[in-house]
Amino acid sequence: MAEPVSYLVETFGTGQRSADEIVSALQDEIDLTPAGILKTLDLRWPIDELTTTDGHFGRQRGEFSWEREVTTG
């Protein structure tokens, strides 16, 4: 199973948790393998025409799966 080889966490000085704590939470809660990303973002369906038509203007927020928030258990 392919896993990310590194993480970069930048809170620009506003973080209430350390970068290590944030990475640990990500690893525990979100499947960042290629298969997990495909499943979470529902990327197995052909949406090429929809994503290339009329650009990004005039669309509703959250229309594409990668624009929605990922919730954790």
Which of 2 and 47 is assigned the larger pLDDT?
2
What's the total number of domains in the chain?
A: 1
Q: pLDDT of 17-65, one tens digit each?
A: 999 999 999 888 888 888 988 888 888 877 666 666 666 666 665 566 6
pLDDT at residue 48 in the model: 62
CB 45 within 8 A of CB 68: no
Q: What is the DSSP string of 30-72?
A: ---SHHHHHHHTTTTS--HHHHHSSTTTTPPTT-SGGGSPPP-
Range of the domain at 50: 1-73
CATH of the domain at 42: 3.30.300.10
Say how far apart CA 14 and CA 50 lie, in whole Å. Answer: 37
pLDDT at residue 39 in the model: 87
Q: Provide the whole-model pTM.
A: 0.55
pLDDT at residue 21 in the model: 94
